[in-house]
Structures are given as structure tokens and as C-alpha cells.
Amino acid sequence: MKQMRPETEAELAELVAGLKEPVRIAGGGTRGVTGPDTELNVSGLSGITLYEPGALTLVAKAGTPLAEIEAALDAEGQQLAFEPMDHRALLGTSGDPTIGGVVAANVSGPRRIQAGACRDFLLGVRFVDGRGQVVKNGGRVMKNVTGYDLVKLMAGSWGTLGVLTEVSLKVLPKPEAVATLVWEDRGWTATSKLFCDALCSPFEVNGAARLPECGGKPSRTVLRIEGFEQSVKYRVGKLLELFAEMKPDQVVTDPVENAGIWREVRDIEPFADKPGNVWKTSVKPTDMVRVASDNNPNRVVGWGGGLIWTLAPEGEDLRAALCDVQGHSTLVRAAPEEMQTLGRFQPENAALLALTQGIRARFDPRSVFNPGLMG
């Protein structure tokens, strides 16, 4: 494998302008993306360039390790509200996740149902397009834009439109207290009711998930409440009243234990040491029962039923099995040959494919960035 590792944005732009063959964009290399033999690695573009805790704003180069950013925020009692997943245990990869990789894949964890996704906290981007030109969009404050909203467009583009060099993010204070209501061994219908009732309540539940039976623990349906201590106590009390006829088995208030529960959900830990393919399916929360109530117990559910992770046998095409359910499935973990055959992402319909191909042609006219990754 050939690797190019620029140390500056200018060097990156020069390299891209002179490309004679397609490249695979990489940062920490934690997501197992395959592609061309030549890797364009941006981990050399690293460092926090601006952090203003009072303005809740952070700017960092794309190759900055996520751990470095989280440590800087933690020192000021702040956090990335969108709770990005760490893929390493699930995918068996190494390296250090980078903030550019998080943004490029729009990596968003359990808190998304209340706080929003990574793209919702992205204020500005700098990137190099397929011609080798440096493009800047957005800034350091939320504002309306006209034309292409490149900030949102780059989030989730997986490096197919350009190579991120710098991102600006809005951050939030860490909550003072956290509590998790836990129900054990509840079926899918009961879990769906818990999710619907909790998320339709005014009590600001910001995590609603279900973990399968694993490691001697029963299956668990969990709801999270965060905020000021008195507010959390009040809202927990109200939820206990709401669920008086279906009381939780426990209410977890210990911060360490809470962190462990939601790390299991965030990083899909129950599947980390199990063989098989891993699929991520997005559906309407009300379709959760329809998708999950089969004979496969290996499912981690998040976002109040809207995100379903499935551990499936190798060779099984989950998209075909769910062809009558509105939504889309991403193949997150599989052998390279299966990833090639089935495709990582849900195939697009003709109209959407024409639109996305037109956008890619605008930003990467030579098709040098991650060709074939997104169809």
C-alpha cells in the first residue's frame, strides 16, 4: 500500500491537484474502509486551533485525535453533545479516531434523539476538493446560508466530495447529573410502548435504547435523563409515576455505571467479540417491532427504536429481508468480499442516484476520492 501523508493544507491541495490515480481517504483508520491501494492520510493535519469555552466553540484540524478534543473539553466541563461512537472494538481495528473522520461519517450516538447529530453541531468546514482547491464554508456561529450548505453536505459524505482539513464545532456543557431507568427482559411490544411514552413525555429523555442478553446480563431496555441534579430527580419521579403500571427494575444514578451502560449502547459492545456481519438499519421507530421481533435475539436498538443494529450470519442479505420496510440498512462489518458484493450503503433509487452523482461530479470531477464507496 502506498501512503501519502501531508502535514499542511497547502501540501494536501498540491498533492490532490497532482493525483494521477484514485485514493482512499483515511485519518485514524478505525472504520475499516477499503478502496484504492493508495491512501491519502490526513492524520498529519492535527491540532486544536481555537477553543473558546465561553462561546461554546472549538476549531480543530481534521486529523486531530478525538481523544485530544474530548480531553480539552472535559477540562472545561464541556463535551461533544452528539456522543460519537468508537468503532474499534466492533470492527477489530486499531489507530485513533479523528474528528475529521467523525464529521465525514456523521458519527452520532444515543443522545442524537434529543440533542441532534454531528452535522447539527458543525459550524464550519475547510476542505480540499477534487481539483485541489481549498474550499471554506460556514464559520464559528450558527447562521443561515444560501446555495450549497457545504457544512451539512460534508457531514456524512465519507470523503467522496472532498478531504476535510478543518472543522468548527459547537460544544455543550456536561450535565451535572444523570440517571438511567432500566427494565429487564421486556419484549419488543413493551419496549416500543416504553419508548413512545417516554419520548412523547415532556421530561426530556435523551437516551432510549435496548441491549440484548449478553455476558450473563438479561436484555435491558434503558431510558436516560440528564441535566441539573434537582431537575433530574424531578423528571425521574415523574417518569416513575408515568410508568407506575410498568415499573423499572432499577434506577441507576452512579455516574460510572451510567457511563458503562451508554458506552455499551454507543459502541455496540455486545457484538464486539461475536462472529457474523453487523448491519445498521434506520427505520421509523414505530416499525421497530416489525423489524426486530423475529428469531434473531442479537439486536441493539437506539434512538427510541429508530436505529437497529443487527448481528446476522455471514452471507445473509438483511436488505432483502427488510425490502417491505421503509428505511435503509448499512453493512458496517463484513468480510471484504461480502462488503464488495452487498455494498456498504443502501443502493439509491434512480432519481437520488442522479442527484448524488451530479453533486460528486461538481466537487470531484475526476472521481479520485473514495471511488465506489457510496455507489
Same domain, 198 and 336: no
Determine the pLDDT at residue 140: 54
Strand-pair category, 277-283 with 307-312: antiparallel
> Would you state the pLDDT for residue 148?
55
Domain annotation covers residue 222: yes
Contact (Cβ atoms closer than 8 angstroms) between residue 167 and residue 99: yes
User: Could you tell me the pLDDT band of residue 374, with boundaries at 50, 70 and 90?
Assistant: confident
Residues 144 and 228 in one domain: no
Pair (149, 208) in one structural domain: no
pLDDT digits (tens, 9 = 90+) for 153-187: 999 999 999 999 999 999 999 999 999 999 999 99
* Structural domain of 327: 270-342
- The answer on 166 and 78 residing in a single domain is yes
Q: Is residue 114 part of a domain?
A: yes
Mean pLDDT value of segment 306-318:
95
Strand partners, 92: none
Q: Is the whole-model pTM more than 0.95? A: no
Q: Which of 127-141, 169-183, 280-294, 358-372 has the highest mean pLDDT?
A: 169-183
Q: What is the pLDDT of residue 139?
A: 60
- Encode burial over 342-374: b for 16+ CB neighbours within 10 A, e otherwise: bbbeeeeeeeeeeebeeebeebbeeebbbbebb
71/169 same-domain check:
yes
Do 163 and 196 belong to one domain?
no
What residues have CB less than 8 Å from 7, skipping those under 6 apart?
44, 45
Query: Residue 31 — very low, low, confident or very high, per pLDDT cuts 50/70/90?
Result: confident
Identify the CATH number of the domain in which residue 328 sits. Answer: 3.30.70
